[in-house]
Amino acid sequence: MTLEIVGISVLWLFLFGYIIVASIDFGAGFFSAYSEIANKKHVIHQVIQRYLSPVWEVTNVFLVFFFVGMVGFFPKTAYYYGTILLVPASISIILLAIRGSYYAFSTYGIKDNKAYMFLYGMTGVFIPASLSIVLTISEGGFVRMDGGEPALLYKQLFVSPFTWSVVLLSLTSVLYISANFLTYYANAAGDDRARDLLRKYALVWSGPTILSALVIIYQLKHHNAEHYTKMMDVSWMFVVSFLFFVLSLYLLIKKRYFGWSFISLVLQYAFAFYAYGISHYPYLLYPYLTIYDSFTNRTMAVALVIAFIAGLFLLVPSLFLLLKLFLFDKKYVKGQV
Amino acid sequence: MFTYDPVLFSRILTELTLTFHIIYATIGVGVPLMIAIAQWVGIRKKDEHYILLARRWTRGFVITVAVGVVTGTAIGLQLSLLWPNFMNLAGQVISLPLFMETFAFFFEAIFLGIYLYTWDRFNDQKKHFLLLIPVAIGSSASALFITIVNAFMNTPQGFELKNGVITNIQPLVAMFTPAMPTKVAHVLTTAYMTSAFVLASIAAYHLFKGNRHPYHKKALHLTMKAALIFSLATIVVGDLSGKFLAKYQPEKLAAAEWHFETSTYAPLVLFGTLDDNKEVKNAIKIPYALSILAYNRPGAEVTGLNDIPKEEQPPLYIHYLFNLMVLIGIWLTVIAALYWAGMKKGLAFTMKKSFLMQLVLSGPLAMLAIEIGWYFTEVGRQPWILRGYMKTAEAATKSAHVDTLLVVFSLLYVVLGIASVVVLTKMFRNNPVERELEERALNQGGVSS
Ligand code: HDD
Ligand code: HEM
Ligand code: HEM
């Protein structure tokens, strides 16, 4: 394995981690705002207060880790993506700011501010949409080189059906992933009403996620034929992903083993996400940037990998402790401490 | 008439974000240490007051941390968005500490989450206290790593640059630059010092308003003692920072001191004005003091600004920034020392309104010194972004829309700033100490006064 591949694999893993934990967070916020407005108030709200408040900062660090690591391993991305993403990424920052401040401010004082709650809920769908734009851009076709300076073609990006399919997939996935997880969590908390409601949401969103994923694969064929062909080379991974989807859905319908249902869902996304990533190789930005020509020097790469391994020794036990105290602690989950 | 200049707007936006972030970052670095001290004293003395102090500070801290994280994420991304050329170049050499910083964030965030939600989960307070140690280590470590990056910008090393290509990279050499020891030490001590004064301000405010509850007296006493220790440390480290500048960044020190001719027995210039011939007027001059500050010897030679190429000279207004920072540092040390002496000798002036007023102002003043200090060192590095290698103007993005973003982010920071102040005041107003003490005493069925 070359250092380039080690680097991108580490980053891809953290991006995947972010997608799962952030989806739970984003979706939960959306459902909670929705239930507030649809007067199903406080069925889900409790779960959010108990589960999300302690971990939102950790979720955010996954994102920070990803972009700092990206610039570390592939400094040229700072130049290309930094220049192109000025506006889209700034929008994401602002949405993240609204969201981050909600956790702090809502716990004290302005709990019942409906407008804020609404804003918070909406960021849950807008953030994934704005972040997913990066993946769309990476497929190429939306960037022009102006005398060596990359520039984003806003109009093309905006009118492309491909863009909107990716946005759609990100939205439906967020809602599906979080509804599935929260079903498990509510079940563990013994809150049957919340569980049933969330299970219903999960079922509702399962179909649209798979549909939008299929639409994207179809569109990619026209948008980026090279990537599409490479994707077909790893089509077995998509098949495995689909099987996990079926298993996860089956358990959900049967109202059994919610934990396993969520684990299958994670595997479903993992296989699809890695199949996508592997077939994207070696490009970071079609057709301008590959992981090879954007790579940092060997010395730095080795140093980063060593730092990463050392960091894991710190991180894994700490994360384990966090999960043990807030996710797997029966008493905490049930609200008894 | 008006031309769009992305460099200018990128500068202003970066400055704005950092100016805002540093307020919350400084609190984020210093306050965990103060909470730890209070909780530890509370456990040792078995004194409910100190435990409650730690608890209430923690609640406030949650809010400042959230804004710190939000603005930190903004500046982290903006470094690449607004300075793509800089990150492209420097990223090859200095990304190691940036990467390590994310682990410090992880560590801190995880344990802060645990600490916050487990106040009543342990029967043994000591166990809960242990959870705070990683938080304090994590936040100080993040300051350490980001300051290493900033030190690198001032005295870059650990690579060779030929025709725009970087070779011979040594990541560790790039981390341990000449600027690093003093910078890191100064940033950390001033963060601790500022946090101590900010918390002292709050206690002093209650006493000033006439509330003489022992809780506030204990709070003031604890914070002022810490403030005195950290102020003294700040002066020592500040002096070392000056010596660092004299040796490695003489142009910054010369501009800060309006020292034009290289000379021995150089005087220290305080305030004053410059006339058209660069003559210093109306200033207070302390003979030999600059030579002493720079090299500990009155006869030492200090490089003057005239020896620096004109286009590489930093703006001269940093002189006032430097003066103000040092003055605030000395003033705060003096009042902390007075308070301490007054308490030792049992003198009444420490509870006089006029003196308490000075203590109320100490927190905001310290924070002002942080801002001024950063403006001093950053403006003093200009025109360089990477001293000797890359000018700030070459580093910026060429994208459109930076002006619009500047407006949008300004609005965001105004809203966040106001909201955090409103929420903090509301939170403590609605739940006064006295009431909380009573409730806790009832819950525990014991007496605690
Ligand atoms: C509470 C805040 C505070 C206080 C009271 C002081 N400083 Fe400071 N100073 C800072 C906060 C600060 C800072 C914000 O932390 C800076 C900016 C960047 C840095 O490394 O530290 C700084 C930079 C800074 C530098 C520039 C270092 C460089 O560019 O590498 C020097 C020479 C001093 N300080 C010296 C002093 C002296 C002699 C003080 C005497 C009391 C002093 N400072 C008090
Ligand atoms: C946190 C407190 C800080 C404040 C208030 C601050 C403020 C400033 C100011 C006023 C300037 C520019 C002056 C001019 O253009 O004349 C500047 C430059 C710069 N600083 Fe800092 N700085 C801080 C810390 C840092 C750190 C820790 C880093 C890097 C890791 C950094 C990165 C930069 C960059 C990239 C520039 C060049 C762009 C510009 O001119 O704005 N700053 N900063
Ligand atoms: C000397 C100046 C700075 C200090 C002392 C400082 C320190 C801190 C602290 C204490 C936090 C809060 C983290 C927490 O409590 O979890 C924070 C957040 C953050 N800072 Fe700064 N910072 C400084 C400047 C910068 C700069 C220049 C950058 C950009 C590279 C930056 C990037 C970040 C990021 C990305 C976060 C959010 C981390 C998260 O998601 O948890 N900081 N910083």
Q: What is the pLDDT of residue B443?
A: 63
Task: Kindly state the DSSP code that residue A189 receives in the 8-state scheme.
Answer: T
Residues A44, A28 contacting (CB under 8 angstroms): yes
Q: What residue type is A97 in one-letter code?
A: A
CB A67 to CB B76 under 8 A?
Answer: yes
Q: What does each C-alpha distance from B240 to A227, B201, B328, B366, B381 come to in angstroms?
A: 57, 28, 17, 20, 18
pLDDT for B387 equals 86
Say yes or no for a CB contact (<8 Å) between B102 and A89.
Answer: no
List Cβ neighbours of A31 (8 Å cut-off, separation of 6 or more): A44, A175, A178, A179, A182, A198, A201
Residue B229 DSSP label: H
Average pLDDT over residues A159-168: 88
Query: First vs last Cα of chain B: how many Å apart?
Result: 69
Distance CA B370, CA B203 (A): 21
Show residues of chain A in contact with B87, CB under 8 Å. Answer: 71, 75, 78-79, 82
Residue with the smallest CA separation from ligand 1 atom 33 is: B238
Residue B149, pLDDT score: 93
**Measured between alpha carbons, how far is A162 from B281 in angstroms, rounded to an integer?**
67
- B257 CB less than 6 Å from ligand 3? no
Q: Which two tokens stand for residue A330?
A: 């029966």
Is the C-beta atom of B370 inside 6 A of ligand 3? no
pLDDT tens-digit series, residues A35-76: 777 766 666 676 666 666 667 788 888 888 888 888 888 888
Give start and end residues of each alpha helix (H) in chain A.
Answer: 3-37, 45-47, 53-73, 75-84, 86-107, 114-138, 154-159, 161-188, 192-223, 225-233, 235-253, 258-280, 298-326, 330-333
Q: What residues contact residue B261 under an 8 Å CB cut-off, 6+ apart?
A: B304, B306
Contacts of A85 in chain B (CB under 8 A): 81
Distances (CA, A) of B206 to A15, B358, B421: 48, 13, 17
Query: What is d(CA A30, CA B321) in angstroms, rounded to the nearest whole number?
Result: 47
Count of beta carbons in the 10 Å neighbourhood of residue B430: 10
Q: Give pLDDT tens digits along chain B (449 positions).
A: 467 777 888 888 899 999 999 999 999 999 999 999 999 998 888 888 888 898 889 888 888 888 888 899 889 888 888 888 888 888 888 889 999 998 898 888 888 888 887 777 777 778 888 888 999 999 999 999 999 999 999 999 888 888 878 888 888 988 999 989 999 999 999 999 999 999 999 999 988 888 788 888 889 999 999 999 999 999 999 989 988 988 888 888 888 888 777 877 777 888 877 777 777 777 787 877 788 888 888 777 778 888 888 888 888 889 899 999 999 999 999 999 999 988 888 777 777 888 888 999 999 999 999 999 999 999 999 888 988 888 888 888 777 788 888 888 888 888 888 888 888 888 787 777 777 777 776 665 444 33
Q: Look up residue B255 and give its two tokens.
A: 């501009």
Please, is B104 exposed, middle or buried when counting C-beta atoms within 10 Å of its C-beta (0-12, 13-18, 19+)?
A: buried
ipTM over 0.90: no
Q: How far is CA B68 from CA A101, B76, B174, in A?
A: 10, 12, 27
CB distance B73–A83 less than 8 Å? no
DSSP per residue, B45-102: HT-HHHHHHHHHHHHHHHHHHHHHHHHHHHHHHHHHHH-HHHHHHHHHHHHHHHHHHH
B134 C-beta closer than 6 A to ligand 1? no
Q: Say which DSSP state B270 is in.
A: E
Question: How many CB pairs below 8 Å do chains A and B form together?
Answer: 213
H/E stretch holding B429 reads: helix B402-429
Strand A283-285 with A289-290, pairing? antiparallel
Cα B11 to middle of ligand 2, angstroms: 8
Given this model, what pLDDT does residue A148 score? 76
Q: Does the beta carbon of B314 lie inside 6 Å of ligand 1?
A: no
Indicate which of B71, B87, B95, B412 best probes the interface with A, i.e. most A CBs within 10 Å of its own CB: B95
A290 - beta bridge partners?
A: A283
With beta carbons under 8 A apart, name residues in chain B contacting A78. 79-80, 84, 87-88, 91
B301 burial type by CB count under 10 A (0-12 exposed, 13-18 middle, 19+ buried): middle
**Element at B165 (helix H, strand E):** strand B165-167
Nearest CA in chain B to A329: B121
Q: Identify the residues whose C-beta falls under 6 Å from ligand 2.
A: B 11, 14-15, 18-19, 21-22, 83, 86, 146, 149-150, 371, 374-375, 378-379, 382, 385, 392
The residue length of chain A stands at 337
Closest atom of ligand 1 to B372 CA is 14
Q: At what angle do helices B318-345 and B250-257 cross, to 10 degrees?
A: 80
| DSSP structure class, residue B302 | B
Closest CA to B20 of B364, B381, B371: B371
SS3 category, B259: coil
CA of B373 from ligand 1 middle (Å) equals 5
- C-alpha of residue B329 to centroid of ligand 1, in Å: 9
Q: Is the pLDDT confidence value at A146 over 50?
A: yes
Q: With bands split at pLDDT 50, 70 and 90, how would you rate the model's confidence at A335?
A: low
Nearest to B80 among A65, A71, A107 (CB): A71
Distance between CA B354 and CA B365 in Å, rounded?
16
* Cβ of residue B43 lying under 6 Å from some atom of ligand 3: no
| pLDDT at res. B153 | 92
Using 50, 70 and 90 to split pLDDT, how confident is the model at A247?
very high
Contact A137, A157 (CB under 8 A): yes
The C-alpha atoms of residue B207 and residue B201 are separated, in whole angstroms, by 10
Mutate to test the pocket of ligand 2, among B15, B75, B78, B89 (most ligand atoms within 8 A of CB): B15
Alpha helix positions (H), B209-249? 214-248
Q: Which tokens sit at B286?
A: 């302390």
Q: Which long-range contacts (CB under 8 A, 24 or more apart) does B123-130 make?
A: B125/B39, B125/B42, B125/B43, B125/B51, B126/B43, B128/B39, B129/B36, B129/B39, B129/B40, B129/B43
Minimal CA–CA distance to B28: which of A64, A104, A293? A104
Q: Cis link prior to A282 (omega < 30° from 0)?
A: yes
CB contact under 8 A, B114 and A63: no
Residue B71 in contact with ligand 1 by CB distance below 6 A: no
Tell me whether strands B165-167 and B384-386 are parallel, antiparallel or unpaired. Answer: unpaired
For residue B413, the CA-to-ligand 1 centroid distance in Å is: 25
Q: Say yes or no for a CB contact (<8 Å) between B117 and A72.
A: no
Quick check: A300 and B167 in contact, CB under 8 A?
Answer: no
Point out the residue among A83, A101, A315 whose CB comes nearest to the CB of B70.
A101
Q: What does residue B332 show for φ and ψ, rounded to 5 degrees?
A: -65, -35
Rounded to an integer, what distance in angstroms lies between the CA atom of residue A65 and that of residue B103? 8
Contact indicator for B414, B349 with CB cutoff of 8 Å = no
- Ligand 3 atom with least separation from CA of B70: 37
**Ramachandran assignment for B273, one of left (phi > 0), alpha (psi -120 to 50 degrees), beta (any other):** beta
- pLDDT confidence of residue B375: 94
Query: Who wins on pLDDT, A316 or A333?
Result: A316
Chain-centroid distance, C-alpha A19: 2
**A202-215 residue pLDDT tens:** 899 888 999 988 88
Report which residue type is found at A102: Y
* Ligand 3 atom, smallest distance to B106 CA: 41
Pocket residue to mutate for ligand 3, from B13, B75, B367, most atoms within 8 A of Cβ: B75
Give the residue, out of B146, B186, B370, with the most ligand 1 atoms within 8 A of its beta carbon, to mutate for a pocket test: B186
- Residue of A134, A153, A299 to mutate for B, most B C-beta atoms under 10 A: A299
DSSP A199-247: HHHHHHHHHHHHHHHHHHHHHHHHH-HHHHHHHHHTHHHHHHHHHHHHH
pTM of the predicted structure, to 2 decimals: 0.88
Probe target for ligand 3 pocket from B21, B112, B150, with the most ligand atoms within 8 Å of CB: B21
Question: CA A88, CA B187: separation in Å to the nearest integer?
Answer: 33
- A249-260 confidence digits (pLDDT tens): 999 888 888 889
Q: B15 C-alpha to center of ligand 2: Å? A: 6
If DSSP codes are grouped into helix, strand and coil, which group holds residue A337? coil
Tokens of A207: 């179909």
Q: What local confidence, expressed as pLDDT, does residue A337 receive?
A: 57
Q: How far apart are CA B371 and CA B220, in angstroms?
A: 24
Residue A316, C-beta contacts closer than 8 angstroms, at least 6 positions apart? none
Q: Classify residue A284 by its DSSP letter.
A: E
Ligand 2 centroid from CA B385, angstroms: 9
pLDDT value of position A107: 64
